[in-house]
Every structure is written in structure tokens, then in C-alpha cells.
Amino acid sequence: MSTLDVRDIRASHGQLVAAQGISFRVEAGRMLFLAGANGAGKTTLLRTIAGDHRQDGGTIRLSGVNVTDMPAHMRARAGLSLVPEGRRLFPQMTVRENLQLGASTSREGPWSVEAIYDAFPNLEKLDRSPAGKLSGGEQQAVAIGRALMGDPVAIMLDEVSLGLSPAAVELAYQALRKVRDAGIALLVVEQDLTRALACADELIVMCEGREMLRSLPGETTLDALVSASLGHGKNEEVAA
Amino acid sequence: MSAQIINAVLLGGYYAVLATGLAFMFSVMNIINLAHGSLIILSAYGLYIAGHMLGIPLALAVPLVCAVMFGLGCLLYRGVLARASAGSELLPLLATFGLAIILDNLLFQVFGADTLSLAPLVGDLSWASVELPGDIWVGQLSVYILIAAVAVIGVLEVILRRTALGHRIQAVSQDRATAALLGIDTGRTAAIATGLALAVGVIAAAALGLRSAWGPYAGAAQLLFAFEAIVIGGAGSLWRVLAGAMLLAFAQSAGAAVHPQGFLIGGHLAFLVAVFWRLQAWRDRLSALGSARTAA
Amino acid sequence: MTDLTITRSSTTSRITLGLLVAAGLALAALPWINGVGGSGRAVALLVYVLLAVMWNALAGFAGLVSIGQTLFFGVAAYATIRLSDAGIDPFLATILATLIGALLGYVTSLFMVSLSGGEFAIGMWVLSALAHLCVNLDPLIQGETGTSLIALNAYDVETRAALTLWLALAFTAVFMAALILLLRSSTGAAITAIRDDEIAARSVGVDVLRTKRIVFVLAATGTAAAGALWLTSNTSFQPKAFFGVHWTAYMLFMVLVGGLGRIEGALIGAVLFFVIETLFGAYGAWYLVGLGAVAVLFALVLPNGLWGWIGPRLPGEAIPTGYFVHKKEGRTQHVDG
């Protein structure tokens, strides 16, 4: 039984199809990367899985439980968490208050504000700072911490490295590896293909709402990923 | 002169307690509830029934009616506001105005055109006065109302800023989608916030009923007072509502000093001045922004 | 290559125009058919039409919900009283009062239109309340006691009723035409854009504030005309009867039930309201409870009103403000603006 089991998801923006028939599974303690160009439908796919966007078809199971008909907050309470693009912290609230909001899922688990500060030592001194005053990297850490506070079984992260300095990206990925080692299933949207190739347990490349390529990182190359994200099929050669 | 100023401050206390529920609802849900005044009048009739007809002491009647109105607020959100705020921006205005029309006329049908008062429930208190230094006498009741206003605003501010419920309400008001992703039941949270706003209205209803009398159509005037206090105070924390309410009362007192019928006119003019002043401030900010961009 | 033809009118619009003209002619002939009583009711219907069409233009097209359109309704009636008291013929006074309403609308638009939704809604109400209080201060009005348009006594009853009706017809025709022409002009395209998506309209360079102000002034003028007509038809002026918030309830009902954002909707709403008022008006407060309940129900369940249901089922538009693009294969596509 996979932690996150997504089958044949379809979603659209009006008449524009954003995701057509995407399926995948993420096991506990594994990191699945979702890559693709802007407009490939990655963000919509994540929001649809989280229940924040209307779903046109398909099923979503979380640890075997069908959550397809649940609204977003019930999916969160079932253990599915989304760290949205741009982090979406509450800027006037302090770091601690933002983290505490993450506990709104009322789930049992190991995470508390103190446990988050142990995992992200740089956050402790920012305890009482308004989240809006933090750097991008610190905000990303708070956003991941806020997701953990809900004691989820699976976390989806949208555009992890967007707008972060290289050092901050490195910190964020260190944190993600810790999260993975804690046995949480991770679904990560990442535009940086080199990074995806380096960190992923498994990779999916999307283009125009479709899956173009699915591979283990050891069995593919950067060129193949680039080519797939431009919409070329698995067997087509890049015209170089 | 100083007696007039003190009386205006005390009247401001009444307007503050009147405006707090409206401001609370606007700040947490971006809904201007045009039925706010009518709901306060409904609460006043509720207090009248509890106090006069059932003989419940006011100290018990207020929390009782608060609980009823809290429940009604939850229903109001579930039945009307949730649907209305899912549509266009105009719908909450149209729906709550329609609700006000329904309430006003229903109250007229049920209770008739008579004006009622809660003053007999508290005996001496409605006319008792206290002496302040400088040979100034003020109504004891209006002092209590001012204290109640400060207490209500203080309690709401503490709930909003210091409690988990308050943080959830803030989260829902600032970013509903993200709040839901964190596992917050946004509908339930908004329903509770509406309930709180209506429960606060019961305090306002008690103040209205004790200091004067009301009829079935008094809601419109209360809504205007509340709204004027909010606009004069400006957006921000609920404490600004208190300041706006005081300024409104000053303007009305000044109007009454100029002309025997100038009381309401003074308040309306103060509202217009506040609107003008804010447009000016808004323009200044825009031009400052423009020049900053040119400089860069 | 496909041949495209672009047209505005359709069978539906020609039928609608025919019906409107026939209705206008029938109303104009009413003084000879039905006498004074019938004319009075006809003026009431036309006043409702004016109010509905104008409030719909404001709320449906400019996105401005006003609780205080009674400002213009009441001030125009008051101005008619004042002008006729100064010796001006009451019918001329009605027209002049409408112009005063336009001027008041222009001045008000300078600062009110840039307010946000709720602030504008109640802000207009405050202005109306302020005007109401100021009118009450006028010794001629004697507070809530009011006065009447005595100068009308110079005309005999039949002439007065007929003249009022024809004036009402002329006003209604002029304001309907003005609104339709406005919607068909380049400003109309901007209005449609704002109605559909204000932020998007702004981003493609529509001057939202200017467009809203044009609609606001037109709505103010039309509402003023309605107020002056109501006075001429009923002769007595009691401030509460003109500045009262029940008028806003009527406008809300007519527009929500008929259909927000469509002229046809406002027309249907006004006619429906006229019928309901004739049948149930005597029930007083219960009648208002019913009006409010129906309006809220429509807002929540059928936010596009009756016309939102009827309109799409008709071939073509009844009152066309956009264009139709016909391809040779016979498929028709509707283009707004």
C-alpha cells in the first residue's frame, strides 16, 4: 500500500486542460520529483491533489484511504500536506504562530514547535519575528515546518527552489532529506532539472498536462529530461 | 464645555460598541453586513422578551441572548453569507440588505410600531449620575457603556491576536485557500466569526435599550452610526473604531451646538470629511509612489 | 474562406423593439382610454422602469451597489417644489430638477465613485440621509409634514394627468435610448469589460474610474427624473416618502428578480414589481417582507435573475448592445461590445 496513490487525475482551467490522466505512487520515505516547463500543469496537479482545485476525474488514495471526495481541509486532516508556491505564510503573524497554525489538522505525531526548531535550528531565534520579515530561505523553512506541524504522512512541495539563493536551496534540500528519512512521502515540484536528477528517488516530467517521461534518476540523462520537458516523447531524439 | 466633551466621549462609547461587531465582521470576512443594525434591533427585542416577558434578570438575559445570537450568526453564515460570498462581490451587499428589509418589517409585524426600552429593568441606574472633579455630572450608565465598549474591543483583540481560534480566523480572512490546506475548516471558522460579531451586537442592543428606546425600524440609523464610526476611525485594529466613534460623537455634539437639528448633520458631515481626507491621502500616496518610481 | 457577416439586430431584437414601441403608444393613448386613474398607474410603472433600469446600470454595469439613490430621487422632487414655488411652471420645473439631479450626480461622482463596494453603498446612504435632514430644515417643507406641488392646480385634472404621463414616457424613452447608445459606444465596451472582470479591464487599459463615473451620472440623472415625475404624479411631498429606504428595496427587488446586468432584466423586473405591488401592496409590512425574501432568494439561488434564464434561450439578443458574427455555415457567434 503506497502512502500517496494518485490515479488518472484530470483537471482544467475552464476549457484549458491542465492535467490529463496523471498517475503515480509515492511510498513512505521516498521522494518523487515532478519536473516540467512553466504551464506544464504541475502546480494545478498539486493543487488538485490537495483539494484546492476542482478535480475533473481520477482517484486519490492516502495510505489506502480514498480521499477523492474530501474537501481540502479534510485531506489535510487525513495527512496530506501542500507547501504552496510562494510559501503563502501569514506575513503579520510570527513564526511561532504560523507554525502553530500547521497543527490545525489535529493529528497525533512527533512534531511540535520545539521539534521543528530542533530540525531547523536557524528558526529558533526568529520565534517572535513576523513571517513577512524573513528571507526567502527562512520562509521556506517555516513553510516546511508548518507542513510538518500537521504530522502528515505525505507532503507535496511546489517550486521548492524558486526565488531562493543557492545556499538557501541547499538548506531546504537538507531539510527535505531529513523529512524523507523520517518516513514521510514527498512529492516535489522542481524546475531545476540538475537538482531533480541529484535528489530524486523517481522522476516524472510533464508537458502540457501530460506525462512525458518517467524514470529512475540513474537511468536517464539531463538531455532526456530537457527534451521531455519541451514535449518530445521518450523515443524521439533531440535535434541538436 | 468640558462637560460637553466628556459627554461626547461617553456617547462615543456607545457608538464604539455599536460599530465593533460590524468592523469585526468586515475585517475578518470582508463582508459589510448591511443587516448589522437590524440584527442589533432583533437582539434588543430578544432582551426585551427575556427581561420583561420572562422576567429574567438582565445580567442573565444578556449572556442568554448572546448565545442565541451566536447560534443565529452561525446559521446566517451557513445559510446566506457563505453562498453570497462565493459569488460576485456585490452579492453579500445585496443579500444582507435584503435581509435587513425582511428583519425590519418582520419585527414591525410582530412587535408593532411601539418604541420599547430596557431602562425599567435596571431601576435607578438609567438616570443615576456620578460627579466628576470640576462639578461635572455624568450618567452612570453611559460610563458603564464606555467601559463595556473598551472591554468588548479588548476581548475581541485578545481572541484575534492571542488564541488559536483567533489565529485561525485571521488565517481564513487573509488567505482562505492556504488556511484550508493547513486543515482549517474555513466554513466553520467563518461561521464562528459571524456568530461572535452577532453576539457582540447583543451588548450593543443592551446599551441601546438601556440608554434610550427603539422601534422596529431603528436598525438603519444604528447601521449608519456604526458605519460612520468605522470610516472616521479608519481601517486597522478595532481600537481605531473606538477613536472613530469618539470623533463621530464630537462632530454630532458640535452640530447640535450650532443648530438644534444639527446633531445628525454634524455626524454625516464628519463622515464626508473623513471620506474626502482619505481620498486625498490616497492621492498623495499615489503621487509619492509615482515620483519614487521616476527617481529610480 | 468563410464569409462573415456582422449584424446587430436579430428577429428577437426586432420583435422586442416592436413590443416596446407598441407598449409606448398604448401608454401614450391611455388618457383617452382610461382617464386620470389609468394615467397615474402608468406613470408609476414608468417610474419603476426608470428606477430599475438606472439602478441596474449602476449595479449591473458599473458594479456600484448604492443604498442611497434616494438622494437623487428626493432632491429632484424637492427641487421641483422649490422651483415651482419660485414661479416656474411645474412641468418645466420637473425637467429643470432633473438637470439639477445630473449636476448633483456629477459633483457626487467626483468623490464617491472611487470608494470601495461597501463604503460606496453606505456612503450613498449617508448622503441621502444628509440631504433628507437638510430638506427637512427648509421652512417651506415644514419638516416631515411636507407640502404639495400647489402650482399644478393651474391645470385641470385631465390635462395634468396626460401631460405627466407623456413627460414620463418621454423621460423613459430618452434615458433608455441614452443607456443603449452608451452601451453601444466605445465606453460601452469598457463598461462590459468592467462588468465581466474589473481587474482584467484595468490591466488592458480601461479607465475604470472614468467609465464608472459616466454610468453613475447617467443613473443619477435618470433617478432624479423618476423622483420629479413621482412628485408631479402624486403632488404631495413628504420627505420620508421620497428619501425612504423602501425605494432601495424596490430597486433591489426589480433588478435582482429581473436580472442584474441586463436592460431586459430591469424591464421585466419593473413590470413584475408593478404587478406585485398592484396585487399585494395593501399588505404593508408583510408585502415588504415578501419582497426582501424573494430578492435574497434570487441573489442566492438565481443571481442572474429571470432574464439570466430566459435570455440564453432566445435566438439573438432582445436589446442588442453587442454584435453577431454570422458564418456562412449558419453558425452564429456573439461578440460583446
Q: How far is CA B282 from the centre of its chain?
A: 26
* Mean pLDDT, rounded, for B99-128: 91
Range of the domain at A203: 4-229
Residue C139, helix vs strand vs coil: coil
Q: Please name the residue ranges forming H helices in B131-233.
A: 140-162, 164-174, 176-181, 186-211, 219-233
C-alpha cell at A234: 521518450
Which CATH number covers residue B269? 1.10.3470
Return the closest-CA partner of residue C191 out of C171, C167, C208. Answer: C208
Neighbour-count burial of A2, counting CB atoms closer than 10 A to its CB (0-12 exposed, 13-18 middle, 19+ buried): middle
B276 touches chain C (CB under 8 A): yes
Q: Please name the residue ranges forming H helices in A83-186.
A: 95-101, 113-119, 121-124, 136-149, 166-181
**CB distance C4 to C327 below 8 Å:** yes
* Mean pLDDT, rounded, for C306-317: 82
Residue B124, helix vs strand vs coil: helix
Q: How far, CA to CA in Å, does B282 sit from each of A153, B155, B235, B274, C261? A: 48, 32, 13, 12, 30
* Mean pLDDT, rounded, for B256-271: 92
B293 pLDDT more than 80: no
A213 pLDDT more than 50: yes
First to last CA, chain B: 52
* Mean pLDDT, rounded, for C313-322: 76
Q: How far is B25 from chain C (nearest CA, A)?
A: 12
Provide the 10 A C-beta neighbour count for residue A37. Answer: 15
**What integer pLDDT is reported at residue A148 of this predicted model?**
95
Q: How far is C156 from chain B (nearest CA, A)?
A: 39
**What integer pLDDT is reported at residue C3 of this predicted model?**
67
pLDDT-derived band of residue B291, with 50, 70 and 90 as boundaries? low
**What integer pLDDT is reported at residue C15 of this predicted model?**
85
C-alpha cell at A41: 500543469
Over the stretch C134-145, which tens digit does the pLDDT of each residue have? 999 999 998 888
Over the stretch A3-17, which tens digit does the pLDDT of each residue have? 999 999 999 988 888
Percent of chain A topping pLDDT 90: 59
Which of B7-21, B76-90, C149-163, C305-319 has the weakest average pLDDT?
C305-319
Percent of chain B topping pLDDT 70: 94
- Residue A235 within any structural domain of the chain: no
Interface test with B, best of A43, A48, A73, A111 (most B CBs within 10 A): A73
Of all helices (H) and strands (E), which one includes residue B252? helix B238-258
Domain count, chain A: 1
In order of their start, the domains of chain C are: 34-317 (1.10.3470)
Contact B94 C118 (CB under 8 A): no
Range of the domain at B280: 2-295
Over the stretch C269-297, which tens digit does the pLDDT of each residue have? 999 999 999 998 888 889 999 999 999 99
**CB distance B202 to B110 below 8 Å:** no
Neighbouring C-alpha atoms within 13 Å toward the C-beta of A47: 17
Does residue A196 or residue A28 have the better pLDDT? A28
**CB distance A139 to A156 below 8 Å:** no
Q: How far, CA to CA in Å, does B110 sit from each of B106, B113, B151, C43, C289? A: 6, 9, 33, 34, 12
Which of C83-97, C196-210, C237-251, C256-270 has the weakest average pLDDT?
C196-210
Of all helices (H) and strands (E), which one includes residue B136? strand B136-139
Counted residue by residue, chain A has a size of: 240
**Are C and A close enough to touch, i.e. 3+ CB pairs under 8 angstroms?**
no
Q: How far is A138 from chain B (nearest CA, A)?
A: 19
**CB distance B43 to B205 below 8 Å:** yes
Contact B271 C123 (CB under 8 A): yes
Beta pairing, strands A185-189 & A154-157: parallel
Point out the residue among A71, A81, A93 whose CB comes nearest to the CB of B170: A93
**What integer pLDDT is reported at residue B89 of this predicted model?**
78
- Residue A238 within any structural domain of the chain: no
Point out the residue among B32, B102, B269 whose CB comes nearest to the CB of C292: B102
* Mean pLDDT, rounded, for B251-277: 92
How many whole angstroms separate alpha carbon B70 and alpha carbon B197?
Answer: 8
| ipTM associated with this complex | 0.90
How many whole angstroms separate alpha carbon C231 and alpha carbon C40?
Answer: 11
Q: Whole-number mean pLDDT of chain B? A: 90
Q: How far is C323 from chain B (nearest CA, A)?
A: 26
**Are B and A close enough to touch, i.e. 3+ CB pairs under 8 angstroms?**
yes
- Residue A236 within any structural domain of the chain: no
Which CATH number covers residue A127? 3.40.50.300
Residue A127, helix vs strand vs coil: coil
Name residues whose C-beta falls within 8 Å of residue B272's C-beta, 6 or more positions apart in sequence: C126, C127, C130
* Mean pLDDT, rounded, for B178-191: 95
A54 touches chain B (CB under 8 A): no
Over the stretch A15-62, which tens digit does the pLDDT of each residue have? 888 888 899 999 999 999 999 888 888 999 999 999 999 999 999 999
How many whole angstroms separate alpha carbon B27 and alpha carbon B164?
Answer: 17
C-alpha cell at B56: 429574567
Q: Which residue type, as a one-letter code, is found at position A141?
A: A
The values of phi and psi at residue A63, to 5°, are: 50, 40
Does residue B230 or residue C326 have the better pLDDT? B230
- Neighbour subunits, C (≥3 Cβ pairs < 8 A): B
Residues of chain B numbered 170-199 and touching chain A (CB < 8 Å): 170-171, 174-175, 177-186
Q: Please name the residue ranges forming H helices in chain C.
A: 11-28, 30-56, 70-85, 90-112, 117-137, 157-184, 186-196, 198-203, 208-234, 239-243, 246-258, 263-280, 285-301, 305-310
Q: How far is A161 from chain B (nearest CA, A)?
A: 19
A128 touches chain B (CB under 8 A): no
Percent of chain A topping pLDDT 70: 97
C-alpha cell at B149: 465598549
Q: Whole-number mean pLDDT of chain C? A: 88
- Residue A71 within any structural domain of the chain: yes
* Mean pLDDT, rounded, for C205-224: 92
pLDDT-derived band of residue A240, with 50, 70 and 90 as boundaries? very low
**CB distance B77 to B194 below 8 Å:** yes
C59 touches chain B (CB under 8 A): yes
Q: How far is B199 from chain C (nearest CA, A)?
A: 22
C136 touches chain B (CB under 8 A): yes
C-alpha cell at A134: 524573513
Which of B106-115, C15-24, C102-111 has the weakest average pLDDT?
C15-24
Over the stretch A73-125, which tens digit does the pLDDT of each residue have? 999 999 999 999 888 999 999 999 999 999 999 999 999 999 999 988 889 99
**What integer pLDDT is reported at residue C337 of this predicted model?**
39
C281 touches chain B (CB under 8 A): no
How many whole angstroms separate alpha carbon C273 and alpha carbon C144?
Answer: 27
Q: How far, CA to CA in Å, does B217 sit from each of B37, B100, C115? A: 9, 10, 27
Name residues whose C-beta falls within 8 Å of residue B135's C-beta, 6 or more positions apart in sequence: none
* Mean pLDDT, rounded, for B87-115: 92
- Residue A234 within any structural domain of the chain: no
First to last CA, chain A: 42
**CB distance A36 to A207 below 8 Å:** yes
* Mean pLDDT, rounded, for A151-156: 96
Residues of chain A numbered 75-114 and touching chain B (CB < 8 Å): 76-77, 81-82, 84, 88, 90, 92-93, 97, 100-102, 104-106
pLDDT-derived band of residue A138, with 50, 70 and 90 as boundaries? very high
Q: Whole-number mean pLDDT of chain A? A: 90
**What integer pLDDT is reported at residue C117 of this predicted model?**
79
Closest-CA residue in chain C for B102?
A: C289
- Neighbour subunits, B (≥3 Cβ pairs < 8 A): A, C
Angle at B103 (CA atoms; ends C74, B264), nearest 5 degrees: 45
**How is residue A130 annotated by DSSP?**
B
**What integer pLDDT is reported at residue C104 of this predicted model?**
97
* Mean pLDDT, rounded, for B43-72: 96
pLDDT-derived band of residue A237, with 50, 70 and 90 as boundaries? very low
Domain count, chain B: 1
Q: Which residues of C193-223 are buried (b: 16+ CB within 10 A; e: fewer)?
A: bbbeebeebeeeebebeebbbbbbbbbbbbb
B265 touches chain A (CB under 8 A): no
How many whole angstroms separate alpha carbon A230 and alpha carbon A238?
Answer: 10
B25 touches chain C (CB under 8 A): no
